[in-house]
Structure 1
């Protein structure tokens, strides 16, 4: 079965980030033989004085294919992990959704609302119960359940989020060669421009991919004409819309 596992509000400014904890859960999933995981994505939610986030109010989510009998052990393991490893002062939440069992439009709408307005735990729990989605809190006030559900909804939509980490490449590469780099599913212009396999791209240090159409996409923009290079990768600040 295909699942989404999302966590939020596990860190503080001095601790390991929520993304690192998500990666460790994904690693455990594979280590225990429960299934295979895919990219961890970061989903930026609303920054507002009424939201008591601990660092940047971003949820982290990954997709996985798991054996059906592994669902409950994974949920128990992830919950205990968050209870044990989350930073002091954090309010961690966990969401695990079986993709084929949920109404994607409602979850996506919740995620989109969490980017624009203040939502409550009560709203999150009500939606999770209606959709049959696991939602649980693992320390502090548990306010992170809001972001955890929102992160899963945004990941389900397939058009939000930056991939955790960066690509270990730099220099000038062809589009065809870039498509052979692990973690790059597609390359496209920031304004929807089509790129050709033979086009050259100037790759900045540690470029990031974003989620578009459910794929890990390296976004590029037109480059200043030089030595036949047509495109250049973007700085992370230029990817904030994701």
Structure 2
């Protein structure tokens, strides 16, 4: 009998401190562990920016890290492995939260998206996060400190489901700065889904893009997308200032 494959969406928040391993790196490691070393194409990590406010404790930017993984492990088994890795890698002062859903099981997507979008605009509470998670069908848990990371973990889950939020962790084409590619070549070389402008319009495959500085992707319309902007009559990949808005 062929083993059942589960499609899990996992988000973590508040595992790090200045000078320690970042939450994004820990998320990537969990993805590798849970997938048993067989990462699927959907396993890229997205970084979701939440509200920065004096009443919210955060390390540097208040962002959550989310990824989708296909695995033979059940949600409970994946959760056990994720918790073990978080506890092993977390900073001493961290307040980690972990949120997981099985995409093949029933959950309230609308409620999760609403919670994620609200967390970008207003302060919320741990109690509220737990209530939303319970009502929406999310496995939400805390693993040290105040446990306030559950707020960001749940919000990041909702924002990944929203499909129009976040930057994709990692840099593309690190050795190819200054070269010109067609959109088709960029897609083929990097494995992204498309190349878009700031209005979410997809560029034609024949359009040319000069790679300047770090080439990174954003998550738009549920797709891994290279963001570009016009400069001096040609397309170039988005600079740091533009990427910060995603």
TM-score, normalised with respect to structure 1: 0.92
Q: Does 1:177 align with 2:188?
A: no
Deviates more, 1:145-154 or 1:176-185: 176-185
Render the CA deviation track for 1:170-223: whole Å, top value 9, x for unaligned.
311111101102341101111244422221111112211000011110111123
Which residue of structure 2 aligns with residue 2 of structure 1?
Answer: 7
Equivalent positions of 1:70-85 (< 5 A) are 70-85=74-89
Q: Is the 8 A contact 1:11 1:55 kept in 2?
A: no
Alignment correspondent of 1:110:
115
**Which residue, 150, 158, 163 being the options, matches 1:158?**
163
Q: How many residues align?
A: 236
Q: Take 1:236 and 1:188, find their aligned partners in 2: how far apart are those partners? A: 16
Q: Secondary structure at the match of 1:184?
A: coil
Q: Which residue of 1 aligns with 2:146?
A: 141
Counterpart residue number, 1:26: 31
Counterpart of 1:165 in 2: which secondary structure? strand
Matched, 1:239 2:243: yes
Give CA deviations for 1:75-117 in whole Å, capped at 9, x if unaligned. Answer: 0111121122100111000000122421111101000011011
**Cα deviation, residue 240, structure 1:** 2.2
Q: Distance in 1 between matches of 2:240 and 2:58?
A: 22
What is the correspondence of 1:56-135 to structure 2 with a 5 Å cutoff? 56-67=61-72, 69-100=73-104, 101-135=106-140
- Whether contact under 8 Å (2:99, 2:154) holds in the other structure is yes
Please show how residues 42-53 of structure 1 align to structure 2 within 5 Å. Answer: 42-53=47-58
SS of residue matched to 1:208? strand
Alpha-carbon separation, structure 1, partners of 2:193 and 2:37: 27
Q: 1:223 and 1:32, CA in 2 relative to 1: closer, same or farther beyond 3 A?
A: closer
Q: Please give the secondary structure, in 1, of the residue aligned with 2:68.
A: strand
- TM-score between the two structures when normalised by the length of structure 2: 0.91
Gaps of 5+ in 2: 1-5
Q: List structure 1 segments (4+ residues) > 6 angstroms apart after TM superposition.
A: none
Give the secondary structure class of the aligned counterpart of 2:27: helix
